[in-house]
Amino acid sequence: GGEGGEGGEPAEVPEAAKPRLDETHAVPEFTGLWSAEGQLGGGSPKKAWNNLSKLEQRYMEEALARKKAGHGWIEKQVVGGREFKGTAFVPSEKGRDVTAIVFKDFEPGKVYKRKVTLTNASLAFNTFKLLDLPDTVKDFFEISYTHPGAMSPGMMCDMHIRFEPKVNEDITEHIPLLCKTGPQNIPLRCLTKKADVTAKATDLEFDVIMGESQTIQLVLSTTA
């Protein structure tokens, strides 16, 4: 008796009721970005981007532009009725404030490193995000830092910059930051080796008459 089979064995489960390992129980109507790759999900950016329609690509471009501009992240900083609108994070090197990060007299193929300290110069707690460098130069730089989170006024954060130039051309760009108080660009200049040639004599006088020749020695010097 009972629900079991003969000898107390459990009844056999009908074949149709058995779970299938290869069975898909739920399929989303639309493919989400969580299954995308690259810029959108962690793998090849071109593959993921090409799978989107033109309208989806436009929406994604607009969303990335809003993110870069700081929509939903930037906040006004008002202390004592005064709104802060200055430079939020002041860069310095070896204890001295700088207006730009400069790599001077570089040579292609060599590696150069600088440590830059960013100090919160705003009126209250602040923080920042490091945005991507311009496409034309981003392959030449590696920027790393340990983010301390919300930084009180006067708090510092070290940023390490590794520069490996591939071409012998001057670079004039900026390091883009997105601070809680708004975007900030730190000027970045990389200068190739140049010869600064000077001459001891500013005027040359040849005391000759027609048909004669004269040779004058001119000394040139360079500081590079």
C-alpha dist (Å) from residue 3 to 15, 47, 213: 18, 56, 127
Nearest CA to 115 out of 147, 148, 163 is that of: 163
For residues 142 and 85, give the distance between their C-alpha atoms in angstroms, rounded to a whole number: 29
Asked if residue 161 lies in contact with residue 116, where contact means CB atoms within 8 angstroms, the answer is yes
Q: Work out the pLDDT band at 49, boundaries 50, 70, 90.
A: low
For residues 171 and 187, give the distance between their C-alpha atoms in angstroms, rounded to a whole number: 10
Q: Per the confidence metrics, is the pTM higher than 0.75? A: no
pLDDT for 209: 72
pLDDT for 150: 93
- DSSP letter assigned to residue 14: P
pLDDT for 198: 78
Task: Answer yes or no: is pLDDT of 28 > 60.
Answer: no
pLDDT for 104: 96
SS3 labels along 149-205 = CCECCCCEEEEEEEECCCCCCCEEEEEEEEECCEEEEEEEEEEECCCCEEECCCCCC
Task: Answer yes or no: is pLDDT of 69 > 80.
Answer: no
Tell which CATH architecture fits domain 78-192: Sandwich (2.60)
Nearest CA to 159 out of 93, 190, 115, 120 is that of: 115
- % of the chain beyond a pLDDT of 70: 70
pLDDT for 68: 59
Residue 1 contacts by C-beta under 8 Å, 6 or more apart in sequence?
none
Task: Answer yes or no: is pLDDT of 124 > 80.
Answer: yes
How many helical (H) and strand (E) elements, i.e. helices and strands, does the chain have?
A: 2, 13
What region, left, alpha or beta, does residue 105 occupy, with left being phi > 0 and alpha being psi -120 to 50 degrees? left
